[in-house]
Amino acid sequence: MKDDYRTGVMSVLACQLIWGFCPIYWQALEPIPSWIIILYRIVTMFIFSYIAARFRYSREEIWGPLRDRKVRTRYFTSGLILTINWSIYIWAMTSEHVIQAAIGYYIEPLVICAVGIIVFKEKLTKYNMTAMAFALVAIIIILMHFRQLPGVALGLAGTWAVYTAIKKTAKQPAIISLVYETMIYAVIAAFAIFYIEGRGIGAASMGIPGKYALMFLSGLVTLVPVALFSVAAPKVSLFIIGLAQYISPTITLLLGIFLFKEPIDIVQIIAFVIIWTGLCFFTYGEFVRHGRKQ
């Protein structure tokens, strides 16, 4: 049990570090449009997932569980949520919304905690309540300042919280579940790629062979952290997952400000400070709770 817990913690930390630095890779693909990147990402994700699965499992072990309709429904649903999350993320990374994506990933741990409380009846503490209240205040400030919902932030946080809840009940090995989650959408994306490339409006016709070749690694760049996350989800609580998930937005925020030179105003800084304050309460509460268990 302790080994499983340690594996889960190390996996979730590793995936957060990779996710944090991923914006560098996605911005390196410009000027390829985000919707084309998304199509290639889905297809290459399935290919890399299946290759990795075949190194460890037989064809029967991979495809056999899909005879169960409940398995198909669960993984095809989680795959749809994952695809939506990917789409929002890549669009944000390639359209100068890196900082707003960071806001979403700061809110995300608290949304995951809320899902854990509502769906899995995990215990609500005063620290969790305080952290969620701070996050709500930050969202209201952003809403009043920009006079619109922070769509990227809320979309990323909401879709990943739902995906995390579904993965919490997953019984298939991590790599096989990724095959299930991408297979149908990879077929659709492959047809779309053949169509746009055949008409000369895809990435291959843009005259940037180096970046076109680099795009074929998008599946691998995606697979590694998602696989690590899938390993971690059944082994640790949603609170631990939420706790680790503000590592990547911190890295992303710093990249957005200092590397990509995105503008950030005083209201956004105030919102970040409020969220960080809430996360401090959240972190302290988790240390207290786990200290009592030991």
Task: List pLDDT tens digits, range 178-236.
Answer: 899 999 999 999 999 999 999 998 898 888 889 998 999 999 998 898 788 878 878 88
Of 11, 39, 15, 268, the closest CA to residue 152 belongs to 268
Q: What is the pLDDT of residue 292?
A: 60
Question: What is residue 75's predicted lDDT score, i.e. its pLDDT?
Answer: 93
Q: So what's the pLDDT on residue 41?
A: 93
- For residues 115 and 162, the answer to whether their CB atoms sit within 8 Å is yes
Check residue 76 and give its pLDDT.
93
Query: pLDDT tens across 59-83, in order?
Result: 999 999 999 999 999 999 999 999 9
Q: How far apart are CA 18 and CA 161, in angstroms?
A: 19
> Would the CA dihedral through 33, 34, 38, 40 be positive or negative?
positive
The pLDDT assigned to 289 comes to: 66
List Cα–Cα distances, 184 to 72, 113, 279, in angstroms: 11, 30, 37
What is the number of other CB atoms lying within 10 angstroms of the CB of residue 285?
19
State residue 25's pLDDT score: 94
* Nearest Cα to Cα of residue 128 among 291, 280, 293: 280
| Locus of tokens 């460890």 | 56
Number of folded domains that form the chain: 1
Enumerate residue ranges in the chain where pLDDT < 50. none
Q: Are the C-beta atoms of 240 and 113 separated by less than 8 Å?
A: no
pLDDT at position 294 is 56
Domain interval for residue 283: 2-293
Query: Is pTM beyond 0.85 here?
Result: no
